[in-house]
Structure 1
Amino acid sequence: MNTIDPSFYLSNQKITREPSPTLDKDGFLKILMTQLQNQDPTDPMDDNAMVEQMATLTSLEQVMNMSSAIETLVQSQVVSPVIQYSHMIGKEVMYQQSDDQAESEKNTVKGNVVAVSQKEGLAIFELDNGEKIYADAVTKIGHSSIEANGTE
C-alpha cells in the first residue's frame, strides 16, 4: 500500500515571510487594490483619500526614478586617473628621489611629465628623465622649461 508523503499537504508547509524594510511601487499598488476590493460597499472609500493615495503613488514612483537616475549619474562620474591627471602632461614636477637614504639626505629631482598611466587605480607620471613616479610623490609643480623657453 502506498502512503502519501505528509509534506505534500499544504497545512504541513512552512510559511515564512520576510518583511521588506522598504515599500516599492508594486507593494503600494497591492495595498491599494486590497483596500478597494475589501471596502464596505455601503461605505466606500472617500474620494479624497483615493486621490491622496494615487498622488502618493505618483510621488513614490517619481522619487524612485530620480534615485535611479542619480545612481546612474554617480556611477558614470568615476573618472580614470589618466583623465584626471592628463593636464599634468608638459608640466615640470619635483619629487624626492626614492632610495634608502634618510629623509634629510634625499635629493629633490625635477622632471617633465611626458605621459600619464595608471596602475591599480593610481596615477603614474612618466617623466622625460625616464623615471616613473606616483602622482602623490610630487612635492612641487611648475611650468616646464620647454614651455618657458618655447624650444624642445
Structure 2
Amino acid sequence: MSIDVSFLGATSRTSDASGQKGPTKELDKQAFLDLLVAQLRNQDPSAPMDSSQLMTQTTQLSTMESLVALADTQRESFALQMRMSAAQLVGQQITWTDADGAEKSGVVSAVSYAGPVPTVRVGDTDVTLDAVSAVTSATSTPATTA
C-alpha cells in the first residue's frame, strides 16, 4: 500500500517562542503517528495491512524515540562536561588569542555559565572556554599579561 507523504511538510510543526506552531521539514514523532493512523484508517478492508509491517513501523517509532532520548542525554552530558571543565580552571593560568590576534595569558578568577559556552574571567576580560589554548599552574604573575 503506497501513501502520499507530501503533506507532511505542512502538517509536521514545531513551536516558536510565542507558542505558535510553524511548519518544518522534519519528520517528528507526531508526523509518524499521523502517518500510521492515516495508513490504518485508509487501508483496504479486503487486503488489510500485514501485521509484520505494523510491527516494523511500531519498532521504527520506538527506535526513533530512543535515539532522540539518547541525543538529548548526550547533549546534556557534553554541556555538563564543559561546565565542569570551566570550573576547574579557576585559579589556573590560561593562554588565549584575543580578537586582534594577540596571544594573552592570565589567571582565571571566575566562571560564567550565562551563554551557550561557559566563559572564564581573567582580569577584566571574559574568555570563552573554546578560545582557551593552554592551561598551566598559576604563578605569582599579574592577572593579565600581554
TM-score normalised by length of structure 1: 0.48
More helix by share: 1
